[in-house]
Structure 1
Amino acid sequence: MNKLLFTAQDHTFTICAYGQSEYLEECIKSVTSQSVQTNVIMCTSTPSEYLELLAKKYDIPYFVNEEKKFNSDIATDWNFAISCAKTRLVTIAHQDDLYKRDFAKEVIAHFNGTKRPLIAYTDYAELRNGREVSDIRNLNIKRIMLFPLRPRFMWPSKFMRRRMLSLGSAICCPSVTYVPENLPEQLFIPGYKGGIDWQAWERFSRLKGEFVFVNSIQMVHRIHDDSETTALINGNTRTQEDFEMFCKFWPKWIARIIEHFYRKSEDSNNL
């Protein structure tokens, strides 16, 4: 199989917007001021004048999911966001997060030379109370989990990626770039909330192809009290979903033990 070559025109940031996030404009600025200019669009199931005006201000194509705007969920929103992009590579940009200036450049460079890429994902930092942090327990644990997938020759290994996923979801969802032509038509399956991304990685891990790891911090995930991640962790939804995911890799009694320690590590997502 020939090795692939991608250019900036093969990539799209699709901003998945909803409500009236005070951080959305920062996200837009981060993806429209990349060192390599790629495509940027905005998608929503909750259309508003606020979103439309921001899209016009930055000359971003604006797409509204008319079918689901009154009955939507995360999976539906993300699937719609992917479908609106017409390029071979798509990053779902989460509206509260920030992308480093070289994010697109590094992701495209790492895709080049692959044979059948499925996804690419990067290392990341967190933004807490206005301060970027990267040397914290939760992130360091995830880096240890991802360590075996640093070498390029490990990217096609189903065994290695499934072993990594069997211990938790170390892949940061907003850092992921998808290659839709090599993935199932429905990337995300409705039903999960906090574990929707981990569920997708588990499905993708069974496919022939490469999990491309960009081993440098290329985006910043914002942690704040109103974030979906924080809300799910404070409730019981995340605990049950995590247990169900561990059961895809382990017997139930082992899954329960791993889930207990995994939940403790996730506590650092609270401010």
Structure 2
Amino acid sequence: MFTPQDHTFVVCAYKENPYIGDTIASLQAQTVTTRVILSTSTPNDFLREVCDTYQVPMVVNPHPHLAGDDWNYGYDAAETPLVTMAHQDDYYDPTFVERMLASLNAYDASELLIGFTDYFEMRDGERVDNNTLLRIKRIMNAPLAHRCCNGSAFVKKRILSLGDPICCPAVTLVKQNLGASPFDTTYKNSCDYKTWVDFARMDGRFVYVPEALVGHRIYAESATSLNLGEDIRKGEDLEILSSLWPRPIAKLVNKVYALSEKSNAL
């Protein structure tokens, strides 16, 4: 059985983000006490002040490259069997850890790869619970809420063959079954998608909690919006989809998926 002491939030921080204090506050407001650390490859006085204010330890990646390298560094620095990579501009419902632990503990720990929750969007200070993109992702993820499906490599890969419905900051990783440095380090934007596809080929469960317990902030300066604007994500996603489909089908799926993701490009 996993307990709150078995979990760490790793806040992935980059430069000086205005929302990071609110994110850490939401992590420290959980209904159960868990650990929080901040990981960065861009240490600065702003982040040091944030860490002092919230009494959060900072770890610094001395060899930065792409996002996956930074995530691996923070993930490896966490000393607990469960790790959630918290993005610096998102929000976590107070029951996130409590609900995640309850869902993971319904299974034998040796069977688990990741657990993840549903999410909502935050736009211009407003909570958005429903739009076309969110509804599509919920439909795609629905089979993974069931024991009969969430351990099937076929089901996991077929879901991911239609795009990436898994919200990265909503994912809790089970270190004992994933090992060290599990994130892809070849893609600039789609390293999370590539990582989930890699995991899907492994024996183990993707446990989906169909409750919107993470608020994903959408704004023009976010990494996702910038990379979509530069068409970085579209090219990377095509490569990933081509590992799951013949190239002509992958191109068709990618066109549809890219259109659905346009809502993130502000």
1:107 is matched with which residue? 100
Distance 2:144 2:185 in 1: 29
Distance 1:241 1:183 in 2: 23
| Contact 2:117–2:213 under 8 Å retained in 1 | yes
Distance 2:94 2:178 in 1: 27
Distance 1:214 1:241 in 2: 27
Work out whether 1:183 is the aligned partner of 2:181: no
2:7 is matched with which residue? 11
Amino acid at match of 2:55: D
1:80 is matched with which residue? 73
1:97 is matched with which residue? 90
The total of aligned residue pairs comes to 264
Amino acid at match of 2:84: T
Distance 1:73 1:159 in 2: 30
Report the secondary structure of 2:239's partner residue.
Answer: helix
C-alpha offsets along residues 210-236 of structure 1, whole Å, 9 cap, x if unaligned?
111111011000000001110111112
| Contact 1:42–1:60 under 8 Å retained in 2 | yes
2:210 is matched with which residue? 215
1:153 is matched with which residue? 148
1:193 is matched with which residue? 188
Structure 1 alignment gaps of length 5 or more: none
Distance 2:257 2:98 in 1: 33
C-alpha offsets along residues 8-38 of structure 1, whole Å, 9 cap, x if unaligned?
0000001111101000000010001101111
Distance 1:267 1:236 in 2: 10
Over aligned residues, Cα RMSD in angstroms?
A: 1.0
Report the secondary structure of 1:154's partner residue.
Answer: coil
| Contact 1:14–1:93 under 8 Å retained in 2 | yes
1:206 is matched with which residue? 201
The TM-score, its normalising length taken from structure 2, stands at 0.97
Work out whether 1:171 is the aligned partner of 2:166: yes
| Contact 1:114–1:210 under 8 Å retained in 2 | no
Distance 2:262 2:171 in 1: 23
Distance 1:90 1:164 in 2: 23
Structure 2 alignment gaps of length 5 or more: none
Distance 1:11 1:32 in 2: 13
- Deviation, structure 1 residue 93: 0.5
- Deviation, structure 1 residue 184: 4.2
Amino acid at match of 1:89: L
- Deviation, structure 1 residue 72: 2.7
Amino-acid identity (%): 41
Identify which range, 227-236 or 180-189, moves more after superposition: 180-189
Report the secondary structure of 1:152's partner residue.
Answer: coil
Report the secondary structure of 1:258's partner residue.
Answer: helix
Distance 2:77 2:2 in 1: 19
Distance 1:45 1:270 in 2: 25
Distance 1:150 1:140 in 2: 15
